[in-house]
A and B are shown apart, each in its own frame.
Chain A
Amino acid sequence: MADMSVAHTAGASKLGRFIIYGLLALVCLYYLMPLFVMLSTSLKSLDEIRAGNLLSLPGEFRTDAWVKAWDSACTGVQCGGLKGFFWNSVSFVVPAVVISTMIGAFNGYALTMYRFRGSDLVFGMLMIGCFIPFQVVLLPMAQTLGALGIANSTLGLVFVHVVYGAAFTTLFFRNYYVTIPDELVKAAKIDGAGFLRIFFSIILPLSVPIIVVSVIWQFTQVWNDFLFGVVFSSGDRQPITVALNNLVNTSTGVKEYNVDMAAAIIAALPTLLVYIVAGKYFVRGLTAGAVKG
C-alpha cells in the first residue's frame, strides 16, 4: 500500500515536471521566435526573403546586409549607415548612466544615513519623478535646455537623462542603504571619518550589487529612449534609436528587410550584452532589500 502511494506520487511529480518544462519550452519558443526571424532574415538575400518563407533558415549565409546597415544604409538623405549614430548613443549614454548612478548613490546615502528635517518629504518628491511621463516634460525641458544653452547637444541629452534617471537611481540606492546598519556610520563617525570619507571608504564599497542594478536599468532606459532623442537632438547627433527609425522609413524603391533586421539587431545589441553579462546581479540586487546586509 505504502509502496504504491510512493510510486504514485513519484509518477505524478514526473508528470508535473514534464508539464512544467513543456510549458517553459513553449514560452521560450514564443519569445525567441522573433529574434530567430530577425537573425535569419538579416542573413538572407533579398531574393530569398521575397520567396516568402519566414521561418526557413537562410540558404547561404550572407553578411552584406550587416555591412550595409553598419556602413552605408541611408537614414534620410545621408547614407553612412548606423555607425556614426551608434557612437553618438555611446557618447551620451555612458556619461548619463555614470552620472545618474553617482547622483543616486549620493542621494540615497544622504537620505538614509544623514536623515535631516524633511528628508522623507524630499524622498517622496523625488519618487514622484518616477511617475511623470516623458511627454509631459518635453516643453519645459526644451525651454530649460535653451536657457542653459545646451539645446541640440550631446551635453543636453546627458542632462535630460540624468535628471530623469536620478529619481529611479535614488530609489534604488536609498532602498538598498536602509538595509545597511546605521551603527556602521556611527562607528565611522567615532573613528573620525567625515561625510565624504564615510561615503567613499565604507558605503560605496558595499554598494556593488546595487550599482550593477542601477547601471543595467539606466543603460537600458537611456539607450532605448527614442522620444528625448528625437526631440532634443538633430542631424548627425541623433541617437541610434532615431537613426534606426529613419533607416527603416527611408526606402529607395525596394524595402530591404535584411538590412532593416540587421540594423535593429545592431541597435539592440548593447542592452542585450549588458543583460547577459550582468543579469544575475540584477535579480540579486533587486531582491537585496529583502535579505539582511
Chain B
Amino acid sequence: MGALSIRNVRKSYHGNEILKGINLEIDKGEFLILVGPSGCGKSTLLSMIAGLDSVTSGEIRIGDRVVNDLSPKDRDIAMVFQSYALYPNMTVRENISFGLQIRKVPAAEQARIVERVANTLQIGHLLDRKPSQLSGGQRQRVAMGRAISREPSLFLFDEPLSNLDAKLRVEMRTEIKLLHQRMGTSIVYVTHDQIEAMTLGDKIAVMKAGEVQQFGTPQEIYDNPANLFVAGFMGSPSMNFIPAKVEAVGGGYGVKLESGQRTHVFPVPGGDGKLKAWEGREVLFGIRPEQITHKSESRLGLPQFQTAEMPIRLTEPTGPDTMVLVPINGKDVVCRVHPAHAGQPGESMELMFDLSKSVFFDPASEQRIA
C-alpha cells in the first residue's frame, strides 16, 4: 500500500492552470523529492498535500485515506517550512509541544516526547530559549523537532535548507538523510537544488510549468533523462548539448563532430535503430562532462570509447577535477579531466568520449530520441 498517492491532480487559480494533472505514487518509508525551477508548481503541490491549498480536481491519498477534503490537522502530517515558522513568542519547548497540547496529549507524555525529540536532534540545551536567540541551524533543528514530535505518517519539507549558508546546508542535508534512515517515515521534500534532490531522494519528480517531466529514481533521472529539460536541469556542471548531424558509419549510425580543423564521426553504440530515422539531419547530442575525460590507455579499443584531439579554449580547476572547455560544432563543451592530465588554454589535448551513456534529443520538440 502506498504512503502517498497523487492521481491526476489539477489546480487552477482564476482560470490559470498551475498544476496540469499530476500523478505520483510513493511507498511507505520512501523519500520523494519535488524539484524544479521556481514557478513550476512544486510548492503548490506540497501545500495541497498539506491541506493548506484546495485541490481543483483529482485525488490525494495519504495511506489508504482520500484526504482532499480533510483539514491539515486530520491528515496525519507534519511540515517544515522554509522560514522555519517557529512561534516567536514561545520557547523551544513550547514550540515543540504546541501541537501535542492542542491534541490534548497528557502533560507527562508531552514532557517525555519533548525530551526524546531534544535528544534525537541534540537541542536539549536550547529548550528554554526563544527562537530569536537561536542561530539558523538551531532554528532548523527546532523546526524538525516540532515536526517529528507528533510521529506523523508523512513529513513535508518546503525548501528547508535554502536559508542556510552553504556549509551548514550540506551538514543539515546529511542529518535529514540520517533522520530519515532512523525513523523510516515517508517524506515529501520540495527543493530547487538538484544536488539536494540527487543526494536525498529515493524518488525524484522533476517538474516544470505545472507538469511532472520525469518521475524516477535519482540514477534513472540522471542517466536516462526523458527530455532536454530534465537532462539540463539535473547535474552540475550541466550536460553538454551539441548540435550534430547523424551519419551512417561502419554499419551503424554516429554523430559528426567538428573541432579545430578536424572532423570526427563517432559511432553511437546501440544507436542504430533509433538514430536511423535521423540520418542526414541534425540532433542534439547530449553528453555529461564526466563522460569526456583524458585519454586512458586501458580503455582504448573498447567500442563505446572514442578519442579525439581538440583545442583547449579555457580551463577551470575545481580541485578534484579540472573543467576543460573545447569547441565542438561551434559550442563550448565542458570536459571533466583529472588535473594532472589537463592541458593549457591554447594547446590541444586528446580527449576520450564515453558514448555508452550519451543521449540524443529532437532539437524541435526537445524530446529524447535515443
Contacts and interface: CB of A to CB of B under 8 A. Distances in A.
Interface residues of B, number: 22
Contacts of A193: 73, 98, 102
Most chain B Cβ neighbours within 10 Å, of A184, A186, A187: A187
Interface in B160-183: none
Interface residues of A, number: 16
B355 to A, nearest CB: 48
B98 A186 contact: no
A279 B244 CA distance: 73
A193 B51 CA distance: 14
Main secondary structure, interface of B, reads loop
B102 A197 contact: yes
Interface stretch (A26-34, A161-169, A198-206): A198-206
B85 A186 contact: yes
Interface string A156-195: 0000000000000000000000000101101111111100
A192 B81 contact: no
Interface string B40-60: 000000000011100000000
Nearest to A197: B102
Nearest to A205: B89
Interface in A23-81: none
A188 B87 contact: yes
Contacts of A186: 50, 52, 79, 81, 85
B83 interface: yes
Contacts of B50: 186, 190
A191 B82 contact: no
Interface string A261-291: 0000000000000000000000000000000
Given A189-B52, A190-B72, A183 B81 contact: yes
A19 B357 CA distance: 78
Nearest to A193: B102
B246 interface: no
Interface of A: 181, 183-184, 186-193, 197, 201-202, 205-206
**Nearest 9 CB-CB pairings of A with B:** A192-B73, A191-B99, A205-B89, A187-B85, A183-B85, A192-B102, A183-B81, A190-B72, A189-B72
23 contacts: A184-B87, A186-B79, A187-B81, A187-B85, A187-B87, A188-B87, A189-B51, A189-B72, A189-B73, A190-B50, A190-B73, A190-B79, A190-B99, A191-B73, A191-B98, A191-B102, A191-B146, A192-B72, A192-B73, A193-B98, A197-B102, A201-B87, A202-B89
Given A187-B146, A191-B99, 14 more contacts: A184-B87, A186-B52, A187-B79, A187-B86, A189-B51, A189-B52, A190-B73, A190-B79, A191-B98, A191-B102, A192-B72, A192-B99, A201-B98, A202-B87
